[in-house]
Amino acid sequence: MMIIPQLRTRPPRLIQKKIERIQRVLADFSNLVVFADLNLKINVLWVIVRQSPGACIEIPLAITSVIPEALLVAHPRFC
């Protein structure tokens, strides 16, 4: 789960650009991503991945490389 602060308050064009960036990153990891949901009401990106060493770190790092304000929310046990 990642929080993207104040995403819903941005202009629609900027929101769409960020969504497109997220989609590109998730497409790069399509072999690992099982489910992804962006909830604009609460500014949360939820991604479920197949079990793979490092996936729960690689994907958030890739997302923060295109959306620097995105914050990973995870329990160390699951990484």
7 within a domain of the structure (yes/no): yes
Residues 1-41: pLDDT tens digits? Answer: 999 999 999 999 999 999 999 999 999 999 999 999 999 99
* Residue at 33 is within a domain: yes
Q: Count of domains in the chain?
A: 1
In a domain, 79, yes or no: no
- Categorize the per-residue pLDDT at 74 as very low, low, confident or very high, splitting at 50, 70 and 90: confident
Q: What distance, in Å, lies between the first and last C-alpha atoms of the chain? A: 12
Position with higher pLDDT, 51 vs 27: 27
- Residue 58 belongs to a domain: yes
User: What is the number of other CB atoms lying within 10 angstroms of the CB of residue 72?
Assistant: 16
**Cα gap 78→56, rounded to integer Å:** 8
Q: What whole-number distance in Å separates Cα of residue 20 and Cα of residue 69? A: 16
pTM over 0.85: yes
What pLDDT shows up at residue 39?
97
The boundaries of the domain holding residue 42 are 2-74
* β-strands 2-3, 71-72 pairing: antiparallel
**Residue 62 falls inside a structural domain:** yes
